[in-house]
Structure 1
Amino acid sequence: MDYAKLESVMRRAALLAGARIMEIYRSDDFEVRAKSDSSPVTEADEAADAMITDELARAFPGALIVTEEQADTHAERAANFLIVDPLDGTKEFVKRRGDFTVNIAWVEDGQPVRGVVYAPAKGRLFYTRADGAAVEETGPLAVDAVGPVTPLSVSQPDNGALIVVASKSHRDQATDDYIAKYAVKDMTSAGSSLKFCLVATGEADLYPRLGRTMEWDTAAGHAVLAGAGGRVVRFDDHGPLTYGKPGYENPFFIACSPDVVLRPA
């Protein structure tokens, strides 16, 4: 894979999709339907999906593109593949809360090694550079002009006073019980893959997820966090979270700075 080309194409695709999402987000009304699993889908999901897959397919012909909104791709498998969630946090989008993201990642041999997470309503763009390091691009975000970038690095946490981030829409008692095993200084909440990015920037130390997620939900954020020196492990045994699993469904997991002393499940 040409990583320099991948960086450019993923960034461009995310910004184009984000612009279209925001057009719909700012409209007076938009259609919301229920998918077969009862989760919501909007015209923004579908428009962003079409734009991203077109950009990726033209740039990387022959590469497998697995995307949430195209169910026929969920049965396909490859050692290396692109994986897309064109609008992660649809519930946040529908409620107009702003915590939604565009996620695109490249997986090699079971690990997301490059990715982009764009939160268009917040104007925050996180991605991995060609060398694998994670950055946040700041300033006016333009498709054809890269702005200033800030290298990302996870926190050096104080295990006696951790900052924990958890889901806005999927918080439950099991999550609260697990968080209670730690000495927590502060709690914050965020939607979508922004939680990975808050750990990547050092704004949080620990993000436990005790709930159902799919690989397209996590791959891009995982790549950004890894590029900032963080890690994502399975909840049960703290082994690495891998990708390309049958059905693309994840087990429970923990994302964190590597210096967080993890508690047993």
Structure 2
Amino acid sequence: MNYDVLIPVIRKLAIEAGAKIMEIYNSDDFDVKVKSDDSPVTAADEAADAIISAGLRAAFPDVMLVTEEQADSHSAKGETFLIVDPLDGTKEFIHRRGDFTVNIAYVEKGVPQRGVVYAPAKERMFFTQADGQSVEEVGVFDLDVVGETREINVAKSDNAALMVVASKSHRDQATDDYINKYNVKDSKSAGSSLKFCLVATGEADIYPRVGRTMEWDTAAGHAVLLGAGGQVVRFDDHTPLTYGKDDFANPFFIAYAPDVELKTA
């Protein structure tokens, strides 16, 4: 994969999808349907998926594409592929809480190498540059011209006073029990893949996820965090979280800055 070609394409598609999502988000009303797994889906999910998948297939016709909204792509097999969640945080979208993102990532040999996470309602854009360094783009997001960017890096964590970020919609007792193993200065909640990005920018030190996620939920945020010096490991044995699993389902995991002294489950 030529990353100098990839990054402008996925950034542009994320902005285009985000614009369509916000058009629907700001409308008076929108329909909410329920998928076979009982998760919600809206016109925004479907419209954003159409934009992104068409753009990726046109630009990279020979690369395997996996996207949440196309069930036939979930049977694909391989260690190298593009993976998309066109609207991560649908519940946040439905309740108009703003914590939703567009996620596009490129996985090679099971590792998310590059990705973009765009939160259109928050006006925050995170992506990995061609060289692998993660940045946050600020200001107005032009389709073809990258605006001002700032390099992002994980925090130098103080294990006596950690900042924790956890799921807004899926926090439970098991999550709290694990968080309580640490010396926590403060904690915050966020939706969607923004949690990875808060660790990547140093706004949080650790994000534990004790709950079901799919690879399209995490790959882009994982790539951004790796490009900022962070890590994502399995909850059970602290080995790296890998991609291309048979059903694209993730085990529980921990995303963190490397100075954090991880506790066992």
Counterpart of 2:128 in structure 1 is 128
Name the counterpart of 2:233. Answer: 233
Secondary structure, counterpart of 1:53 in structure 2: helix
Q: Using the alignment, how far apart are the partners of 2:241 and 2:80 within structure 1?
A: 16
> 1:199, 1:214 → 2: CA distance?
19
Deviations 1:218-247 (A, max 9, x none): 000000000000000000000000000000
Question: Match of 1:191?
Answer: 191
Matched residue type, 1:139: G
Local SS of the residue matching 1:20: helix
Q: Deviations over 1:185-213 (max 9, x none)?
A: 00001000000000000000000000000
Equivalent residue number for residue 173 of structure 1: 173
1:242 alignment counterpart: 242
The CA deviation at 1:77 is: 1.1
Structure-2 residue corresponding to 1:96: 96
Please tell me whether residue 73 in structure 1 is matched to residue 73 in structure 2: yes
Runs of 4+ in structure 1 off by over 3 angstroms are none
Partners of 1:63 and 1:213 lie apart in 2 by 23
Amino acid of the residue matched to residue 56 of structure 2? L
Q: CA RMSD in A?
A: 0.4
- Is 1:212 matched up with 2:193? no
Q: Which amino acid aligns with 1:99?
A: D
Q: Which runs of 5 or more structure 2 residues have no equivalent in the other structure?
A: none
Aligned partner letter, 1:259: D
Contact 2:8 2:144 survives alignment (8 Å): no
Separation of aligned partners in 2, 1:81 and 1:217: 15
Equivalences for residues 31-70 of structure 1 within 5 A: 31-70=31-70
In the TM superposition, what is the alpha-carbon distance from 1:90 to its structure 2 partner? 0.1
Q: Deviations over 1:38-71 (max 9, x none)?
A: 1000000000000000111111012111000000
Is the contact made by 2:118 and 2:126 (CA closer than 8 Å) also made in structure 1? yes
**1:79 offset after TM fit, Å?**
2.4
User: 1:16 maps to which residue?
Assistant: 16
**Match in the other structure for 2:164:** 164
Quick one: which amino acid aligns to residue 151 of structure 2? P
Query: Aligned partners of 1:99 and 1:142: how far apart in 2?
Result: 21
Amino acid at match of 1:238: H
Note the residue ranges of structure 1 that are not aligned, 5 or more in a row: none
Aligned length: 265
Give 2:133's aligned amino acid: A
CA distance in 1, matches of 2:59, 2:209: 34
Q: What SS does the aligned partner of 2:247 have?
A: helix
Give yes or no for contact 2:79–2:243 (8 Å, CA) kept in 1. no
| Partner amino acid, structure 2, of 1:131 | D
Q: Which amino acid aligns with 1:59?
A: A
CA distance in 1, matches of 2:62, 2:141: 30
Q: Name the CA distance, whole Å, in 2 between partners of 1:107 and 1:138.
A: 26
**Aligned mates of 1:18, 1:154 — CA distance in 2:** 26
* Contact 2:154–2:200 (Cα < 8 Å) also in 1: yes
Structure 2 Cα separation of the partners of residues 136 and 180 of structure 1: 31
Deviations 1:91-141 (A, max 9, x none): 000000000000000000010000000000000000000001100000111
The 2-side partners of 1:101 and 1:163 are apart by 22
